[in-house]
Amino acid sequence: MQLVTRIDEVKKLVRELRRQGKTIGLVPTMGYLHEGHLTLMRRAKAEQDVVVATVFVNPLQFGPSEDFAVYPRDLDRDSRLAAAAGVDVLFAPPVEEMYPRGYENMLAFVDVRRVTERLCGASRPGHFRGVATVVTKLFNIVEPDAAYFGQKDAQQVVVIRTMVRDLNMNVRIVTVPIVREPDGLAMSSRNVYLAPAERQAALVLSRALKLAKEKLDAGERSAATLIAAMRELISREPLATIDYISVSDAETLEELDTVRAPALVALAVKIGKTRLIDNLLWEETQHVSHAF
Ligand SMILES: Nc1ncnc2c1ncn2[C@@H]1O[C@H](COP(=O)(O)OP(=O)(O)OP(=O)(O)O)[C@@H](O)[C@H]1O
Ligand SMILES: CC(C)(CO)[C@@H](O)C(=O)[O-]
Ligand code: BAL
């Protein structure tokens, strides 16, 4: 595996690979890799000739009071894990390489409307503008055939698919199901922030979704009833503060009164100071696709 930090270097590498007729899969990450990321990388490796993964903690998608400065970073460990997962090129640019005039001085952005306005977009103003802009930069740098994203960030996937469709971007978006710890917690780099009691409390997210799944499987179709049941379960955990619980159309992210597939049951909950997200994609034919 080659570790590269400069845009011109990675461009040169992919130009040569493309000249050889190789297909390229891109796996964008913010690093501090876990099994969720490694699953994306293995999937990309199974489907493409070459995998380019990126490790970049993007300041443009963090709010001023968010955790950019303390976000976990360990490039040596990430390099070993990425190489073992089959990554061919690991692109890990410093902030100055991606934003040479400073990210605060950027003049051009990619803004996606509507699907960015609710859920995480409402609690993290500017977040999806930062994501769409940096993902566009990565697409322009690597020019991948396909790019791989995790369903854990369900709204991010909708935003990126919308951007690619509306702007005719030449890349196929592949979504990979959520990878969980054995007790149900969705894997996340931010899980390292959790103290032992908080780690236990964090199980309320997946438990609330499991409850929603049971109710859906039993025929419940009222979004308000599902949300009330999840809210009640989470409110019994003193370390948890609900940011949002939502039942929406999985493609438009418009809130639903009556559940119809495909629906996205999504939530964001603060456990102590750590904000965690999780979701359940409900598809009528197979009911819930992901096991708890
Ligand atoms: N548990 C998971 N299962 C599947 N994909 C995941 C999982 N966690 C992260 N991903 C995906 O990995 C890619 C990189 O995500 P990112 O580096 O932000 O990791 P993260 O663990 O979600 O971090 P954080 O939760 O701290 O934002 C994204 O496409 C994300 O959806
Ligand atoms: C897609 C991404 C790498 C853009 O910074 C980030 O939002 C993430 O890790 O999900
Ligand atoms: N996985 C989404 C990146 C973020 O929380 O900023």
**Looking at the structure, do residues 236 and 144 belong to the same domain, yes or no?**
no
- Residue 253 placed within a domain: yes
CATH code for position 78: 3.40.50.620
Name which residue leads in pLDDT, 228 or 290. Answer: 228
Range of the domain at 239: 189-287
Q: What tokens does 102 get?
A: 């400073």
Q: Is 198 helix (H, G, I), strand (E, B) or coil?
A: helix
- Residue 182 placed within a domain: no
Q: Whose CA is nearest to atom 1 of ligand 3?
A: 153
**Looking at the structure, do residues 167 and 272 belong to the same domain, yes or no?**
no
Distance between CA atoms of 221 and 273, rounded to whole angstroms? 33
Q: pLDDT tens digit string along 221-275?
A: 999 999 999 999 999 999 999 999 999 999 999 999 999 999 999 999 999 999 9
CA–CA distances in Å: residue 51 to residues 39, 110, 187: 13, 25, 22
Q: Is 287 a catalytic residue?
A: no
Distance between CA atoms of 8 and 91, rounded to whole angstroms? 11
pLDDT band at residue 136, thresholds of 50, 70 and 90?
A: very high
**Looking at the structure, do residues 251 and 278 belong to the same domain, yes or no?**
yes
**Looking at the structure, do residues 132 and 210 belong to the same domain, yes or no?**
no
**Looking at the structure, do residues 170 and 216 belong to the same domain, yes or no?**
no
Last residue of some domain: 176, 205, 226? 176
**Looking at the structure, do residues 206 and 168 belong to the same domain, yes or no?**
no
CA–CA distances in Å: residue 33 to residues 41, 53, 74, 255, 287: 11, 11, 9, 33, 30
- Residue 184 placed within a domain: no
ipTM, 2 dp: 0.98
Q: pLDDT tens digit string along 64-115?
A: 999 999 999 999 999 999 999 999 999 999 999 999 999 999 999 999 999 9
Q: What is the pLDDT of residue 290?
A: 56
Distance between CA atoms of 173 and 27, rounded to whole angstroms? 10
Compute how many other C-beta atoms are within 10 angstroms of the C-beta atom of residue 86: 17
Q: Any residues with CB less than 8 A from the CB of 142 and at least 6 apart, and which?
A: 10, 14, 24, 26, 52, 54, 91
**Looking at the structure, do residues 129 and 203 belong to the same domain, yes or no?**
no
- Residue 248 placed within a domain: yes
**Looking at the structure, do residues 205 and 280 belong to the same domain, yes or no?**
yes
**Looking at the structure, do residues 168 and 236 belong to the same domain, yes or no?**
no
How far is ligand 2, taken at its centre, from the CA of residue 116, in Å? 15
Q: How many CA atoms lie within 13 A of 197 on its CB side?
A: 6
Ligand 1, pocket-test mutation among 26, 27, 29, 77, most atoms within 8 A of CB? 29
* Cα–chain center distance at 214: 25
Q: Is 61 in the pocket of ligand 3 (CB under 6 A)?
A: yes
- Residue 181 placed within a domain: no
The verdict on whether residue 61 carries a ligand-binding annotation is yes
Q: Among the atoms of ligand 3, which is closest to the Cα of residue 120?
A: 5
Ligand 3, pocket-test mutation among 156, 276, 279, most atoms within 8 A of CB? 156
Q: What is the mean pLDDT of the chain?
A: 97
Phi-psi region of 267 (alpha: psi -120 to 50; beta: other; left: phi over 0): beta
Q: Any residues with CB less than 8 A from the CB of 55 and at least 6 apart, and which?
A: 29, 30, 31, 33, 75, 78, 82, 90, 91, 92
- Residue 183 placed within a domain: no
Last residue of some domain: 117, 145, 176? 176
Q: What is the pLDDT of residue 292?
A: 58
- Assess whether pLDDT exceeds 80 at residue 213: yes
**Looking at the structure, do residues 144 and 241 belong to the same domain, yes or no?**
no
How far is ligand 2, taken at its centre, from the CA of residue 28, in Å? 6
Q: What is the pLDDT of residue 37?
A: 98
Last residue of some domain: 154, 176, 198? 176
CATH code for position 243: 3.30.1300.10
Q: Among the atoms of ligand 2, which is closest to the Cα of residue 138?
A: 4
Q: What is the pLDDT of residue 284?
A: 76
- Residue 200 placed within a domain: yes
**Looking at the structure, do residues 215 and 256 belong to the same domain, yes or no?**
yes
Number of domain units in the chain = 2
**Looking at the structure, do residues 157 and 14 belong to the same domain, yes or no?**
yes
Q: Is 14 in the pocket of ligand 1 (CB under 6 A)?
A: no
Cα angle value 187/193/198 (rounded, 5°): 85
Indicate the pTM of the whole model: 0.97
Contact present, 118 and 248 (Cβ < 8 Å)? yes
Contact present, 24 and 14 (Cβ < 8 Å)? yes
Residue 194 phi/psi, 5-degree rounding, is: -80, 125
Q: What is the pLDDT of residue 268?
A: 98
- Residue 277 placed within a domain: yes
Q: Is 153 in the pocket of ligand 3 (CB under 6 A)?
A: yes
H helix intervals, 85-126: 95-98, 120-123
